[in-house]
Structure 1
Amino acid sequence: MSEPFNKYLQRFIEFLRVEKHYSDYTVQFYRYDIEEFFKFTSEQSIEDLKEIEYLDARLYLTTLHDQQLSRATIARRVSSMRSFFRFLSREKVITENPFALVQQAKGGKKLPSFFYEEEMEELFAVCEGEDPLDIRNRAILELLYATGIRVSECTGIEMKHIDFDFSVLLIKGKGNKERYVPFGSFALEAIERYIATARKFLMKPTDHHSFLFVNHRGKPLTSRGIRHILTTLIEKASLTRKIHPHMLRHTFATHLLNNGADLRTVQELLGHDHLSSTQVYTHVTKEHLRKTYLTHHPRA
């Protein structure tokens, strides 16, 4: 990567972190996508960002298709480049965004994976022990399923964010946006039990932080730690599928809609800026209804 290109990349990364408040995970994807584009420009002997035109952007899109990348990956790459060049335009580095008019053909959206209610019961069953880590894991599972919060949001919960009287959480989401999320009696009982027993056991006398969930050393639990916990629960439950961090979030939304919740409420609970982000779950519920009909109707 040439020095001028790298300089602008670093400025853009700083912009994402400081002004947009994007997570390290998101910034990492932007960096990777832009560095991949810089490899392309190097192969095309493009030495100045000002030289890049619409036709170069179209050629890059063709290159991505030739690599047989998924539609979602290509769409993300194009979106990253559009944002990067929009930033360069704002900074007066370039006059026109070469990716502004590049459109990736939209394919069918992949429906989000979720757990059926019976599978959730199996997951809860494997963390019913009296061990402090079992009690903690039960509280994590109950809370993620009860609220639909992101794993990163779960790790950021502090004791002061919990209103036990009204069973409400203050959640700090993407871009430091705050929202209140209610949770039910099962999650409340699991959290209160965890705080009263397991958390005290796991915390060391020298630990003075106020984060709700801690690891076996009493330190704040990370997103990676929660992903490991969920994977372990899946293995214990002998469920024949892999888990990813968003599956419990998908399950939360799907089960709400299956049981009659309205889309706007689910949007607010999930912290989605746009209703279109929530509407994908209506496709899941329709598919669920179709399968139920085909399975149980005598003349289906």
Structure 2
Amino acid sequence: MGAGHAVVTQPAPEPERSARAIEGFLRHVSFERGLSANTVAAYRRDLVLYREWCGTRGITEFSAVTESDVSDFVGALATRQEPLSTASIARILSSVRGLHRYLHAEGMLAEDVAREVRPPKRGRRLPKAITIEQMSTLLGAVTGDEPVDVRDRAILELLYATGARVSEITGLSVDDVVPEQNLLRVLGKGNKQRIVPYGSYARDALDAYLVRARPVLAQRGRGTPALFLGVRGAPLSRQSVWLIIQAAAEKAELGLDISPHTFRHSCATHLLQGGADVRSVQELLGHSSVVTTQIYTLVTADTLREMYVTAHPRAR
């Protein structure tokens, strides 16, 4: 080209500029933030998906994206033919927000339009409860007349009868039992004490333990006010209760994952199914807020819905 002729540089096509913006961001997270190759590859997949979606809306440059567009992209991820999980959507949105934050910080975008966009809320996890029949099978699996067998029956019956946390059960002392009224004084979270009733099955199991088993176990130790004792006479640990529950679950052959919380959740669910009001169950479980207890009403609502669909002639 001869002297005097200026070289005219054409601006890059807009789709190429958006691709270069993504590559610049990926270099940034790779070198300046030191992210792993796998993480960078995940960012790339997310942002290519975002760029392609923008293209379907006629958006060929990120400077044309609005906050509404980013929100619509998140909605499209949740409603497509094979919708993504909320965790996957949150990860993709994190990549998109990172891109826009980078481009804004570098002066390539006048505004960070993705900053206020939030992922969809995760579905509330419903507590796992087992049926009344399954609980009866589980409780009936602990047999035998050895002191530890009698103790284990009392522990499991109390867990189900009271809905108490495992730490609350292992924290009981002998003086916390009010046998003439079928009550326990339970020390819960925040050192808040509450009075919890228990029924006839738990009463019989607890009476048997106090009369026949605890004195035998106590002789092996140095003396402790703890209600439940191990084989050496020391206070029983939470880990030991887990093992007791696992052993009972194996003997019951329910094929389910049973934990101390299974007893707590089952107690609350069965009470509500039986007609107990939410406030009473809140008091029993020691929940500071009734909102926590109301999660269990979702469980009973699901059960009611299943019954309705199965039984009502015009439900299907």
Same fold (TM over 0.5): yes
In the alignment, the residues of structure 2 paired with residue 213 and residue 70 of structure 1 have an alpha-carbon distance, to the nearest angstrom, of 43
In the alignment, the residues of structure 2 paired with residue 278 and residue 178 of structure 1 have an alpha-carbon distance, to the nearest angstrom, of 18
In the alignment, the residues of structure 1 paired with residue 249 and residue 279 of structure 2 have an alpha-carbon distance, to the nearest angstrom, of 31
Q: Tell which has more relative contact order, 1 or 2 (C-alpha 8 A, sep 6+).
A: 1
Which position in structure 1 is the counterpart of 2:219?
Answer: 204
Kindly report the root-mean-square deviation, in angstroms, between the aligned alpha carbons of the 2 structures.
2.4
In the alignment, the residues of structure 2 paired with residue 218 and residue 276 of structure 1 have an alpha-carbon distance, to the nearest angstrom, of 40
Distance 1:145 1:104, change over 3 A: farther
Distance 1:128 1:293, change over 3 A: farther
In the alignment, the residues of structure 1 paired with residue 215 and residue 198 of structure 2 have an alpha-carbon distance, to the nearest angstrom, of 23
In the alignment, the residues of structure 1 paired with residue 201 and residue 314 of structure 2 have an alpha-carbon distance, to the nearest angstrom, of 40
Which position in structure 1 is the counterpart of 2:280?
Answer: 265
In the alignment, the residues of structure 2 paired with residue 191 and residue 111 of structure 1 have an alpha-carbon distance, to the nearest angstrom, of 31
In the alignment, is residue 249 of structure 1 matched against residue 232 of structure 2? no
Aligned length: 208
Deviation at residue 282 of structure 1 after TM alignment: 0.4
Which position in structure 2 is the counterpart of 1:225?
Answer: 240
Which position in structure 2 is the counterpart of 1:185?
Answer: 200
In the alignment, the residues of structure 1 paired with residue 181 and residue 117 of structure 2 have an alpha-carbon distance, to the nearest angstrom, of 49
Which position in structure 2 is the counterpart of 1:110?
Answer: 125
Which position in structure 2 is the counterpart of 1:280?
Answer: 295
In the alignment, the residues of structure 1 paired with residue 85 and residue 302 of structure 2 have an alpha-carbon distance, to the nearest angstrom, of 27
Amino acid in structure 1 at the alignment position of 2:304: L
- CA contact 2:221–2:234 (8 Å) conserved in 1: no
5+ unaligned residues in a row in structure 1: which ranges? 1-42, 46-67, 75-100
Which position in structure 2 is the counterpart of 1:159?
Answer: 174
Map Cα deviations across residues 213-234 of structure 1 (whole Å, 9 max, x no partner). Answer: 1112221111111011101110
Alignment of 1:51-70 (within 5 A): none
Deviation at residue 186 of structure 1 after TM alignment: 1.1
SS state of the match for residue 278, structure 1? helix
Which position in structure 2 is the counterpart of 1:214?
Answer: 229
Map Cα deviations across residues 202-247 of structure 1 (whole Å, 9 max, x no partner). Answer: 2235421011111122211111110111011100000111112211
In the alignment, the residues of structure 2 paired with residue 164 and residue 138 of structure 1 have an alpha-carbon distance, to the nearest angstrom, of 17
Deviation at residue 131 of structure 1 after TM alignment: 2.0
In the alignment, the residues of structure 1 paired with residue 117 and residue 217 of structure 2 have an alpha-carbon distance, to the nearest angstrom, of 53
5+ unaligned residues in a row in structure 2: which ranges? 1-31, 35-83, 91-115
SS state of the match for residue 165, structure 1? helix
In the alignment, the residues of structure 2 paired with residue 281 and residue 44 of structure 1 have an alpha-carbon distance, to the nearest angstrom, of 44
Which position in structure 2 is the counterpart of 1:135?
Answer: 150
SS state of the match for residue 112, structure 1? coil
Distance 1:244 1:205, change over 3 A: closer
In the alignment, the residues of structure 1 paired with residue 131 and residue 195 of structure 2 have an alpha-carbon distance, to the nearest angstrom, of 26
Amino acid in structure 2 at the alignment position of 1:211: A
In the alignment, is residue 292 of structure 1 matched against residue 307 of structure 2? yes
